[in-house]
Amino acid sequence: MLWFSGNCRIFRAFNKPVDPRKSSGRIEAQNPFEILVMNILVCISKVPDTTSKISFTDNNTRFNESGVQFIINPYDEWYALVRAVEIREAGGGEVTVINVGRQDNEQIIRKALAIGADKAIRVDADPADAMYVARQIAEQAKAGSYDMILLGKETIEYNGSVLGGMLAELLDLPYISLASDLQVEGQSATLTRDIEGGKEVLKLNMPFVASAQKGMAEARIPNMRGIMMSKSKPLTVVPAAEVAAPTRVLHYELPPEKGQVKLVSPDNMEELVRLLHEEAKAI
Amino acid sequence: MSVLVYAEFIDGKPKKSTLEVVYYAAQLAAQLQTKAVALTIGPAEQADLEALGQYGVEKVLHADEARLSQFQSRAFSRLIAAAASENSAQVVVLSHSANGKALAGRIAVRLEAGLVPGVTALPDTSNGFSVRKPVFSGKAYAHVAVESEIKVLSVNPNSLKPQSAAGSATVEKFSGSLQDSDFDAELSSRDMVSTGAVPLPEAELVVSAGRGMKGPENWGMIEDLADSLGATTACSRPVADTGWRPHHEHVGQTGVAIKPNLYIAVGISGAIQHLAGVNQSKTIVVINKDAEAPFFKAADYGVVGDAFEVVPKLTEAIRRFKNS
Ligand SMILES: Cc1cc2nc3c(=O)[nH]c(=O)nc-3n(C[C@H](O)[C@H](O)[C@H](O)COP(=O)(O)OP(=O)(O)OC[C@H]3O[C@@H](n4cnc5c(N)ncnc54)[C@H](O)[C@@H]3O)c2cc1C
Ligand SMILES: Nc1ncnc2c1ncn2[C@@H]1O[C@H](COP(=O)(O)O)[C@@H](O)[C@H]1O
């Protein structure tokens, strides 16, 4: 694939400014063939704040947004975005955030810029389903030349954890899911991936797609300077590509309310064991 | 026509969630009046493959060559998609496990299929095809319609109890055409936490503790309680954040989401973000000294009392019960 070729990388080193806050003399001082300019794309989604009360309207077909605060999906913000910013801070380069959503998402996009992303792309569309969003992001990724594409482990809204795999397949790239550590070394990276009951450490070459979870970075709070600068950073709005969404939410349902809790005296644990065995059939 | 299920083997053995998805696929195949076919990739004993027949599949395809002994998302997804096409699968089923999450999206793209991740029930196929999945971190369910010809479903662990019956599957070799570039990541090490306990996402019994335990030195009684039940230990987020317990034990909205049969929460207040990851548990027991702790509202059974006194008593009572 041409857009990921080595030439592209060197070309970029010559032509694209690295982080202006860090670039002083860096390009001139070194052999361009050794310059490592990381170009990172971070996918961010907008989700209801974790304390939101979940309810639905229109015959349980729409999420009730009234009174709900929206935030950047925690995995995207705390781990994927912060790690991308750390890598740029360490080695130079550029962090682009991308979101598929309508204009009211720009508030959370500006927050990502305040945390340290350099620029943003918003694909102007309703995120119909994961495949739809993945195809939109893939279109934009093809137009850039990214060394890595980072996502969150899953959205706390849809709990899909599938978009990264779709994106990797659409772009014909490797995919590491549920990464809790990411180290960059030259043209390769080492990632730790969580599996049931353990961890795997994997080495691979750029470019790649990875989804991030706890452990990859520490959440950052944007500072005043970041907030000021975020206002003037470029946010490009692009129209949606025409693609189909193969799935559709028909309606939502709230789980049945728990009945009244049965209290057991702290002096009668035999009774609790009996209830767990005979009534709940849990032991 | 068929339902193709990816029957994951780890270290040569089927996982608990593997039997669940095989059973799910067999049930779904019966519902669609077709057959379920399983695919296993990597090392596996013939007897274990045949035994998948007890969960309702008649045929097991087995892809095995040296380079398939380690999980590789690109190579594995290619084989699963190829097996699905060769068997004209209408539906592809896999587990919503760590590896399942790495595969599902790729398979859906390759088959141009709609994908519903983390389903907890069989689909409704009476009018179209729709299936239920938890959303908003377990605070609600969505019924999702799939409108593509081929469907991919990943099934949440502990969503159904597989029933076994006498039966044996026929095993056939399967080889897809793989290229070197399908093996794109090199495994440099694998580190399993050797507690002997069932990994959290699959555990049916979980004992979890929070900041009410005061410090890591007091976890002995939590481990004893877990031990008496054969349960897996978990913790609240601040407990993992302060390093009292390892990160992999952190459950909740930003940690592991679990769905055990029994969840015992000790000294955990029941913040909404904690509940989000555990409220799918079948039975919840809360032990907290504060009768006003929000967790009691989400509990089936509650003990208002000091954990330091209650927990050892409960452990003793369980041990007596188990020995009787
Ligand atoms: C975006 C976001 C995401 C979050 N994600 C998660 C998550 O995934 N998981 C999670 O757990 N939290 C999460 N949190 C944090 C959550 O809001 C709570 O702060 C946290 O769950 C509290 O942990 P705790 O119950 O252990 O501690 P506390 O809230 O301090 O509760 C301790 C409890 O112990 C009781 N207690 C004290 N002493 C005793 C005793 N001797 N015997 C019995 N009981 C006693 C107290 O009455 C109290 O109820 C998140 C927060 C945010 C903002
Ligand atoms: N509308 C969106 N725009 C950009 N990125 C998204 C969007 N939705 C999801 N993502 C990314 O995909 C990840 C996984 O989403 P999901 O597979 O839907 O759980 C999220 O953590 C985000 O990084």
HSE (side-chain half, CA atoms, 13 Å) at A107: 6
Q: Spell out the residues 6+ positions from residue A155 whose beta carbon is closer than 8 angstroms to its own.
A: A45, A47, A73, A75
pLDDT tens track for B197-244: 889 999 999 999 999 999 999 999 999 999 999 999 999 999 999 999
Atom of ligand 2 nearest to the CA of A163: 17
Distance CA B154, CA B96 (A): 5
Q: Is the pLDDT of residue B140 over 80?
A: yes
Q: Give the per-residue pLDDT at A27.
A: 37
Euclidean distance between CA atoms A133 and A166, whole angstroms: 9
Residues 6+ apart with CB under 8 A from B194: none
Q: Which of A47, A133, A196, A265 to mutate to test the interface with B (most CBs of B within 10 A)?
A: A196
CA of A279 to the centre of ligand 2 (A): 41
The per-residue pLDDT for range B141-194, each reduced to its tens digit, is 999 999 999 999 999 999 999 999 999 999 999 998 899 999 999 999 999 876
Nearest-angstrom CA–CA distance, A29 and A169: 38
Q: Crossing angle, helix A163-171 and helix B98-111, to 10 degrees?
A: 50
- What are the respective helix, strand and coil percentages of chain B, to the nearest 5? 35, 30, 35
**Does the CB of B16 have a partner CB in chain A at under 8 Å?**
no
- The shortest C-alpha distance from B229 to chain A (Å) reads 8
Give the pLDDT band (50/70/90) at residue A258.
confident
Read off the pLDDT of each residue in A227-245 and give the average, rounded to a whole number: 97
Closest ligand 2 atom to A159 CA: 19
Site of tokens 């909404």: B272
User: What is the helix (H) or strand (E) element at residue B23, kind and residue range?
Assistant: helix B16-31
Pocket test for ligand 2, best of A40, A45, A78 (most atoms within 8 A of CB): A45
Q: Which residues pair with A97 in a beta bridge?
A: A42, A120
Taking an 8 Å cut-off on Cβ atoms, the answer to whether A54 and B98 are in contact is no
Mean pLDDT (chain B, rounded):
96
Beta carbon of B302 within 6 Å of any ligand 1 atom: no
Averaged over A272-283, what is the pLDDT?
A: 97
Task: Look at the block and give the residue holding tokens 């015992």.
Answer: B264
Ligand 1 pocket test: pick from B139, B241, B254, B309 the residue with the most ligand atoms within 8 Å of its Cβ. B254
Per-residue tokens: A5: 């070729």
Q: Tell me how far apart the alpha carbons of residues B260 and B131 are, in angstroms, rounded to a whole number.
A: 21
Cβ contact (<8 Å) for A159 and B297?
A: no
Q: What ipTM was estimated for this complex?
A: 0.93
B188 and A203 in contact by Cβ < 8 A? Answer: yes
Q: Is B317 on the interface with A (CB under 8 A)?
A: yes
pLDDT band for position B296 (50/70/90)?
Answer: very high
Q: What is the DSSP letter of B249?
A: G
Note the pTM of the prediction, 2 decimals: 0.91
What is the token pair recorded at B183?
Answer: 């093996």
